[in-house]
Amino acid sequence: MKRLLITGAAGGLGRAMRSRLAPLADTLRLADIAPVGEAGANEEVVTCDLADAAAVHEMVAGCDGIVHFGGVSVERPFDEILNGNIIGLYNLYEAARTHGHPRILFASSNHTVGFHPQDKRLTASDPMRPDSLYGVSKCYGEALASMYHDKFGQETLILRIGSSFPKPANRRMLSTWLSYDDLARLITRMFEVPRLGRPIVWGASDNPAGWWDNGEAGWLGWRPQDSAEAFRAEVEAAEPLPARDDPAAVYQGGAFCVEPIHKK
């Protein structure tokens, strides 16, 4: 690609992917509402509020691919989610429609299905069961991506990310962890395949204790190579076994299932 846009570039995944995705394009355009830092070689920095339609159009113009990490990434008051994840995503898809349909990675979440129990293995065809307003906003995002695909041919990889951090930080993440390198390999792959469509992919490494079946996206040819199992002893030593009725041990969404509705 000539130019790859990464939104949410100041956030955890944006920072982790910055160097890993550099080989995919001549130029990385790094965008966020928060400071991203100085542009390095072959980088451009753009300050942009996703809720500002004109700014989003300018941000997307000239890009051949979009890795969309920007937005609210945890449970927050509804107006914050509305701006970042609802209005912001509409602005992004409208900009993509105007500017040649660059392929999009949509960072969806396991919190679209958080109220499914941990003893149920899910495929991409299982129904959504969001566990939070945040999770509902990601369900909306998946529906928006689907509509723009079916109506306009916009291609999106809908990635239901589990927990993507340097290493699994708790027992739940022994099932949900996605290593940064596996994430980068998946993003690389989605720009290599001749036809993408709008697959739903579970964003987890090759964790033996995982809950999700990526069989429906097998044709993509992405095989995660890392595993949370390597960290099991460390995690179990640091965190006592939860009670059997603890949401962290019952539901796939863990603690998000008992988050209140946050007011300002």
Ligand X SMILES: NC(=O)c1ccc[n+]([C@@H]2O[C@H](COP(=O)([O-])OP(=O)(O)OC[C@H]3O[C@@H](n4cnc5c(N)ncnc54)[C@H](O)[C@@H]3O)[C@@H](O)[C@H]2O)c1
Catalytic residue among 134, 148, 180, 251: 134
Are the C-beta atoms of 32 and 13 separated by less than 8 Å?
A: no
Out of 161, 217, 220, 248, name the contact with ligand X by CB under 6 A: 161
Binding mask 183-212 for ligand X (x = CB under 6 A): ------------------------------
Alpha helices in 70-132 (DSSP H): 78-81, 88-98
Q: Please tell me the count of residues contacting ligand X according to CB under 6 A.
A: 26
134 is an active site residue: yes
49 vs 131 by CB, closer to ligand X: 49
Out of 104, 107, 136, 145, name the contact with ligand X by CB under 6 A: 107
Where is 159: in which H helix or E strand?
strand 156-161
Q: Is 130 in the site for ligand X (CB under 6 A)?
A: no
Q: Is 242 in the site for ligand X (CB under 6 A)?
A: no
User: Whole-angstrom Cα distance, residue 235 to residue 225?
Assistant: 20
The backbone torsions φ and ψ at residue 202, rounded to the nearest 5 degrees and listed phi first, read: -80, 125
Q: Is 112 in the site for ligand X (CB under 6 A)?
A: no
The backbone torsions φ and ψ at residue 129, rounded to the nearest 5 degrees and listed phi first, read: -145, 75
Q: Is 164 in the site for ligand X (CB under 6 A)?
A: yes
- Work out how close the CB of 83 gets to ligand X at its nearest, in angstroms, rounded to a whole number: 5
Out of 27, 91, 109, 132, name the contact with ligand X by CB under 6 A: 109
User: Whole-angstrom Cα distance, residue 180 to residue 165?
Assistant: 7
Q: Is 95 in the site for ligand X (CB under 6 A)?
A: no
Q: Is 17 in the site for ligand X (CB under 6 A)?
A: no
Strand partners, 203: 161
Out of 49, 64, 182, 226, name the contact with ligand X by CB under 6 A: 49
Return contacts of 18-21, CB within 8 angstroms, 24+ apart.
20/180, 20/181, 20/184, 21/67, 21/184, 21/187, 21/188
Are the C-beta atoms of 21 and 184 separated by less than 8 Å?
A: yes
Positions touching ligand X (CB under 6 A) are 8, 10-14, 32-34, 48-51, 69-73, 83-84, 88, 107, 109, 161, 163-164
Residues that are catalytic: 134
